[in-house]
């Protein structure tokens, strides 16, 4: 499968690029905010020499070591899973903070994106196939939601459905009285708390799917093979699904993969608005506390998550498009 | 060979006009589209506010006053904050930085996209591979966290720094569609002919390729500006940018930290969002107009369809509508009668 | 060889566009296809010959609009014909492919790139014969491929894995899946090289001998029609300007446009002639000249040609049985006005 191999090579390079960005940025920036923070925590005696050393390697504070050596030390440390200490949740290691927050984000953003993709693509399919139908009329509304920042839509959702009509909780990921675990109470509470943020993400990310699929359906509808399918007297449903939509969805699948980085970005801010205990909230808190180790680790882990999702989309793409499989 | 299998699909979806058209003619045709006209008018109004807004503002946006938490009134058009600051004045003062950053970084990103995209579509071998890979890497990297780690480590985050950071993270999408379009143009007859005539690559790029990319460049500019608009208010909202510069996102930041939602102070958090939404909508409308120009098949909108339905026409692939307007009798009737 | 009609197109009118800016692409085309016959339709690109094929089957994409006429499909003797343009969608769908099948130009774009050949051959059978089993459909697909001389293993190939000629054979096999009475070929060989072109056309003729369907063969290549068609209709600017049997068209064209069209192709057989192009360009359908649509390009035009629009009428000359032509040159009593190239000759040679 040369296609998948090429993609894997691309992901390796992208992961390397993300890690290198994390290495380069602190070394490019004038001033040493991390140095100042370390000094502050060292004064209180809360940070051990090893922990200081790990931060020095991550942020390039050892001026006497050559850049090349720094780079190797940096890689060795990151591959060992040591991403430094979080200043926000001091003295918790960054990797622990990520471990606790990432599942919330993966489930919320993953599910919301999937739902949005399915609804948007189906709506776009019908809108493109039957021009001038009801869904065409809904397009301006969907576009309005797409032109609005996610977080503002989140604010409005809270104002409407949590404050004015208190149907949903205003913030948090679960009832504070419950202890996280796989109990029915906890899962139910988590689902209940996740509804409004998920709805916000779905509504704001819907329009691109509808538009993309609609435009592709319009384009594909005039392809000769669709005319042939009609000429063959196939049932309308089969022409739409298995001839038009089946081909029109291909660009949508690859766009899904590419736009994940964008969707994730918007969703992070949605988490901040809803005080949702995911990685977005951790990012928000890290900004206020100037917690650079946590910020960089979040960027890194999100990049890896997006790459993993891309790989899934690639496999789907290979399954959907025989022209990519170069066998025979 | 491209890394992504869909570049051709992207190119097919927005076919460029077959031959060079003068920018003025394209401009005239675009202005004939109502969506483009409405969008441009809204953008123009916001630019006007960006220029004269500071003088129009009834108050100093930073000025504290004893009139705290007031709803909209003649003295305070959009009410006041917890410290008695005038929200309308904050929004007016914030228009200029938002417009400068959105359009500035939109322009910078489009220039980067043009250089990388056109070069990537025109070069071959490893240079093409590298540019294509670079584009795809920047497409996949999550932009918001990237902007946050860059912006938050800058010593000072003024408007231009923000614009630059957004442009550097947001150019890849434009580069991708420009590259796809350049690739498809490169294979066209008129470019091949120019090559066969021995014209220099520089001449081909500037006189054959770029004029034919006009609509794609315009799309890229509009979409990147929309991306930059959302990015700058997002960065301000989460408090990455300097809070001493007013912008719509900053207003929302204070609204959020002062619990405007929970207190039901709708005049604090709805107007800034509406400003963003209206400007964003205007950009999206312009983009629709360009799309319809480049791909006429998208043109029949819901209004046109409703009008056709009244005439008994349902335009559809596979079943051509029949509406007999010819005065002749139905030939079948003739046969049955005879 | 005049037999029963199988497909009759009567006064078919087609517009592109729905409003005031609509352009008339077909202005009242009437043609009859007889049972077992090959009817050729010739003309320059843009004359409306493909539009005719799509409109007659109601496959013309938006913004096409049929504004008048009928397409009568005759069934068994004694049963009344059906107007394809008046059928409700469901009835039309069930008749498609079973009665009239089409081989479109561009065989690669006619095949769905994401499905195997097998699927694309069998889905038409499944749609029209719900009682068929998976197995019977596969057997039929195998039989169809054998008919166009393709190996059985091509059933599990995807379109992109086949050559241009193979794809066109698949399209022909697909068109014959339900043994239709009428086969419409729209430039079936345009994208193929000459050798493959000839193979495919001859294979089609052989299949017609065996299966007995009637053919409407649309092409810009008149020489191909002269070799293979029984009758030829020549179209210009959305109208039929001349219809006659292939032999007569070739030897004695009556319409100046037919004459010019014949001279623009090297003949495949028969006496050699000088190949000349047709001066001028086909007219813009949105701005048709008044009077005869060909008159601005016509070397024999008379003053009347710019004013009167000639109808398609029977040729006035004895021996021109069944020939119709739309040209004012042949309508006058003054036979000396008819140029020698278009006038009837003594019949001794062709008899």
pLDDT digits (tens, 9 = 90+) for B33-90: 888 999 999 999 999 999 988 788 788 888 777 877 777 887 777 888 878 788 888 8
Q: What is the spatial distance between Cα B224 and Cα B168, in angstroms, rounded to a whole number? A: 11
Q: Which of C89, C96, C114 sits opposite A232 (nearest CB)?
A: C96
| C329 domain-assigned | no
In this prediction, residue B22 carries a pLDDT of 67
- pTM for the predicted model, two decimal places: 0.83
Q: Count contacts between A and C (CB, < 8 Å).
A: 82
Cβ–Cβ gap C124/A243 under 8 Å: no
How far B48 CA sits from the closest chain A CA (Å)?
Answer: 21
Cβ–Cβ gap B143/A143 under 8 Å: no
* Confidence class for position C159, pLDDT limits 50, 70, 90: very high
Q: Is A326 on the interface with C (CB under 8 A)?
A: no
Closest residue of chain B to A134, computed from CA coordinates: B302
In this prediction, residue C56 carries a pLDDT of 92
The whole-number average pLDDT for the span B280-308 is 75
In this prediction, residue B6 carries a pLDDT of 29
In this prediction, residue C42 carries a pLDDT of 92
Report chain B residues whose CB lies below 8 A from the CB of A29: 153-155
Report chain A residues whose CB lies below 8 A from the CB of C176: none
In this prediction, residue A25 carries a pLDDT of 84
Strands (E), C74-109: 82-83, 100-103
Task: Determine which of B18-22, B228-232, C205-209 has the lowest per-residue pLDDT on average.
Answer: B18-22
Closest CA relative to residue A85, chosen from A267, A289, A293, A275: A293
Listed in sequence order, the residues at least 6 apart from B56 whose beta carbon sits closer than 8 Å to its beta carbon are: B49, B92
Q: What is the spatial distance between Cα B102 and Cα B99, in angstroms, rounded to a whole number? A: 5
Q: Which of B13, B262, B280 sits opposite A215 (nearest CB)?
A: B13
Angle ∠(C264,C270,C272) on CA atoms, nearest 5: 50
Q: Count contacts between B and C (CB, < 8 Å).
A: 64
Write down the residue that tokens 């095949």 correspond to: C111
* Of residues C178 and A44, more confidently modeled: C178
Task: Determine which of B85-99, C140-154, C319-333 has the lowest per-residue pLDDT on average.
Answer: C319-333
Cβ–Cβ gap A265/B3 under 8 Å: no
- For residue C217, list its beta bridge partners: C40, C185
Test the C interface: residue of A128, A220, A233 with most C CBs within 10 Å: A233
The number of domains in chain C is: 1
In this prediction, residue B48 carries a pLDDT of 94
Q: Is A321 on the interface with C (CB under 8 A)?
A: yes
The whole-number average pLDDT for the span B308-337 is 65
Test the A interface: residue of B136, B153, B224, B239 with most A CBs within 10 Å: B153
* Confidence class for position C347, pLDDT limits 50, 70, 90: very low
pLDDT in tens, chain A (328 residues): 578 888 898 999 999 999 998 888 888 776 566 777 777 777 776 777 777 778 778 877 776 778 888 888 888 888 888 888 887 777 788 899 999 999 999 999 889 989 999 999 999 999 888 876 666 777 778 778 878 888 899 999 998 898 888 888 888 888 877 777 788 888 888 888 989 999 999 988 888 888 889 888 888 888 899 999 999 999 999 999 999 999 999 888 877 777 777 778 888 888 988 999 999 999 988 888 888 888 889 999 999 998 998 888 888 888 888 887 754 3
Write out the residue range of the structural domain in which residue C119 sits. 113-179
Check whether C1 has a pLDDT greater than 60: no
Closest residue of chain C to A234, computed from CA coordinates: C127
Chain A: partners with 3+ C-beta pairs within 8 Å:
B, C
For the A94-325 domain, the top CATH level (class) is: mainly alpha
Listed in sequence order, the residues at least 6 apart from B251 whose beta carbon sits closer than 8 Å to its beta carbon are: B87, B90, B91, B94, B268, B272
Q: Is C89 on the interface with B (CB under 8 A)?
A: yes
Q: Which of C128-132, C189-193, C268-272 has the highest mean pLDDT?
A: C128-132
Test the B interface: residue of C5, C18, C79 with most B CBs within 10 Å: C18
How far A231 CA sits from the closest chain C CA (Å)?
Answer: 6
Report chain C residues whose CB lies below 8 A from the CB of B308: 18
Check whether B11 has a pLDDT greater than 50: no
Average model confidence (pLDDT) across chain B: 80
The whole-number average pLDDT for the span C22-40 is 91
Torsion of CA C218, C223, C229, C232, to 10 degrees: 70
Percentage of residues in chain C having pLDDT higher than 90: 46
Domains in chain A: boundaries:
2-76, 94-325
* Confidence class for position B1, pLDDT limits 50, 70, 90: very low
Q: Which of B18-27, B88-97, B188-197, C32-41 has the highest mean pLDDT?
A: C32-41
Residues 145-174 of B with CB under 8 A from C: none
Check whether B20 has a pLDDT greater than 60: no
Which CATH superfamily hosts domain B7-299?
MetI-like (1.10.3720.10)
* Confidence class for position B309, pLDDT limits 50, 70, 90: confident
| C130 domain-assigned | yes
| C126 domain-assigned | yes
- Is there a contact between B87 and B68 (Cβ–Cβ < 8 Å)? no
Average model confidence (pLDDT) across chain C: 86
Angle ∠(A67,A68,A69) on CA atoms, nearest 5: 95
Give the pLDDT confidence of C56-65 residue by residue, as tens digits. 999 998 888 9
Q: What is the spatial distance between Cα B47 and Cα B45, in angstroms, rounded to a whole number? A: 5
Task: Determine which of B155-164, C96-105, C127-136, C304-313 has the lowest per-residue pLDDT on average.
Answer: B155-164
């Amino acid at each position: 499968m040369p296609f998948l191999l090429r993609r894997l090579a691309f992901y390796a390079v992208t992961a390397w690029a993300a890690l290198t960005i994390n290495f380069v940025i602190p070394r490019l920036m004038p001033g040493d905010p991390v140095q100042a923070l370390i000094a502050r925590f060292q004064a209180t005696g809360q940070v051990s020499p090893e922990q200081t050393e790990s931060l020095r390697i991550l942020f390039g504070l050892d001026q006497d070591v050559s850049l090349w050596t720094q780079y190797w030390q940096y890689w060795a440390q990151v591959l060992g899973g040591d991403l430094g200490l979080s200043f926000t949740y001091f003295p918790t290691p960054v990797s622990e903070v990520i471990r606790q927050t990432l599942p919330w984000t993966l489930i919320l953003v993953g599910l919301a994106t999937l739902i949005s993709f399915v609804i948007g693509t189906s709506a776009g399919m019908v809108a493109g196939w039957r021009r001038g139908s009801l869904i065409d009329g809904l397009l301006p509304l969907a576009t309005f939601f797409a032109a609005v920042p996610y977080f503002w839509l989140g604010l409005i959702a809270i104002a409407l459905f949590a404050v004015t009509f208190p149907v949903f909780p205003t913030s948090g990921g679960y009832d504070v009285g419950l202890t996280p675990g796989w109990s029915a109470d906890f899962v139910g509470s988590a689902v209940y708390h996740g509804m409004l943020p998920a709805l916000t993400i779905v509504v704001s990310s819907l329009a691109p799917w509808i538009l993309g699929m609609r435009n592709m359906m319009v384009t594909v509808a005039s392809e000769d093979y669709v005319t042939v399918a009609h000429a063959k007297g196939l049932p309308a449903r089969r022409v739409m699904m298995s001839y038009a939509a089946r081909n029109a969805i291909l660009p949508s699948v690859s766009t899904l993969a590419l736009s994940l980085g964008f969707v994730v970005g918007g969703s992070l801010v949605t988490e901040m608005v809803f005080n949702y205990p995911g990685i977005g909230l951790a990012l928000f808190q890290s900004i206020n506390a100037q917690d650079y180790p946590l910020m960089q680790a979040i960027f890194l882990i999100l990049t890896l998550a997006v790459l993993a999702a891309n790989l899934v989309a690639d496999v789907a793409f290979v399954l959907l498009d025989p022209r990519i499989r170069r066998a025979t | 060979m491209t890394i992504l299998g869909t570049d051709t699909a992207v190119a097919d979806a927005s076919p460029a006009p077959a031959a060079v058209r003068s920018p003025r003619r394209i401009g005239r045709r675009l202005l004939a589209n109502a969506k483009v006209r409405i969008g441009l008018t809204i953008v123009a109004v916001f630019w006007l506010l960006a220029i004269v807004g500071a003088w129009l503002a009834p108050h100093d946006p930073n000025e504290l006053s004893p009139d705290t938490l007031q709803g909209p009134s003649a003295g305070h058009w959009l009410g006041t904050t917890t410290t008695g600051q005038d929200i309308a004045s904050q929004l007016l003062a914030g228009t200029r930085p938002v417009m400068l950053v959105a359009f500035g970084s939109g322009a910078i990103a489009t220039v980067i996209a043009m250089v990388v995209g056109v070069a990537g579509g025109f070069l071959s071998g490893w240079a093409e591979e590298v540019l294509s890979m670079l584009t795809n890497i920047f497409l996949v990297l999550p932009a918001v966290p990237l902007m946050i780690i860059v912006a938050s480590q800058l010593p000072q985050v003024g408007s231009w720094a923000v614009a630059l950071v957004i442009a550097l993270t947001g150019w890849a999408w434009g580069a991708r569609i420009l590259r796809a379009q350049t690739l498809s143009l490169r294979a066209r007859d008129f470019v091949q002919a120019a090559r066969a005539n021995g014209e220099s690559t520089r001449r081909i790029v500037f006189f054959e390729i770029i004029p034919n990319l006009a609509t794609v460049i315009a799309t890229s500019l509009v979409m990147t500006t929309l991306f930059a608009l959302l990015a700058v208010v997002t960065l301000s909202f989460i408090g990455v940018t300097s809070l001493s510069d007013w912008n719509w996102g900053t207003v929302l930041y204070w609204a959020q930290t002062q619990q405007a939602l929970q207190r039901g102070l709708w005049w604090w958090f709805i107007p800034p969002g509406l400003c963003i939404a209206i400007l964003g909508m205007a950009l999206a409308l312009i983009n629709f107009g360009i799309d319809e120009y480049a791909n006429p098949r998208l043109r029949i909108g819901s209004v046109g369809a409703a009008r056709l339905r009244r005439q008994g026409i349902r335009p559809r692939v596979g079943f051509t509508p029949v509406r007999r307007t010819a005065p002749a009798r139905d030939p079948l009737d003739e046969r049955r009668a005879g | 060889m005049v037999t029963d009609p199988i497909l009759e197109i009567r006064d078919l009118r087609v517009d592109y566009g729905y409003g005031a800016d609509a352009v008339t692409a077909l202005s009242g085309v009437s043609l009859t296809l007889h049972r077992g016959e090959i009817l050729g339709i010739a003309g320059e690109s843009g004359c409306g010959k493909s539009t005719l094929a799509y409109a007659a089957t109601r496959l013309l994409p938006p913004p096409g609009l049929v504004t008048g006429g009928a397409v009568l499909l005759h069934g068994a003797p004694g049963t009344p014909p059906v107007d394809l343009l008046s059928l409700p969608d469901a009835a039309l769908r069930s008749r498609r492919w079973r009665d009239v099948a089409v081989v479109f130009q561009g065989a690669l774009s006619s095949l769905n790139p994401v499905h195997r050949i097998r699927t694309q051959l069998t889905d038409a059978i499944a749609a029209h014969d719900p009682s068929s089993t998976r197995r019977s459909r596969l057997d039929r697909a195998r039989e169809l491929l054998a008919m166009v001389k393709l190996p059985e293993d091509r059933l599990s190939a995807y379109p992109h894995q086949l050559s241009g000629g193979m794809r066109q054979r698949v399209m022909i096999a697909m068109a014959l899946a339900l043994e239709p009475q009428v086969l419409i070929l729209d430039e079936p060989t345009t994208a193929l090289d000459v050798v493959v072109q000839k193979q495919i056309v001859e294979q089609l003729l052989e299949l017609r001998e065996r299966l007995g369907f009637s053919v409407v063969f649309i092409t810009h290549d008149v020489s191909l029609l002269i070799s293979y068609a029984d009758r030829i209709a020549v179209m210009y600017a959305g109208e039929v300007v001349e219809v006659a049997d292939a032999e007569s068209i070739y030897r004695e064209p009556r319409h100046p446009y037919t004459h010019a069209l014949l001279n623009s192709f090297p003949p495949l057989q028969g006496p050699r002639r000088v190949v000349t192009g047709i001066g001028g360009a086909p007219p813009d359908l949105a701005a048709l000249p008044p009077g005869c649509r060909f008159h601005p390009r016509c070397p024999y035009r008379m003053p009347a040609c710019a004013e009167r629009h000639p109808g398609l009428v029977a040729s006035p000359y004895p021996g021109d049985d069944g020939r119709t032509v739309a040209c004012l040159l042949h309508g006058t009593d003054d036979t000396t006005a008819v140029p020698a190239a278009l006038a009837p000759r003594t019949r001794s040679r062709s008899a």
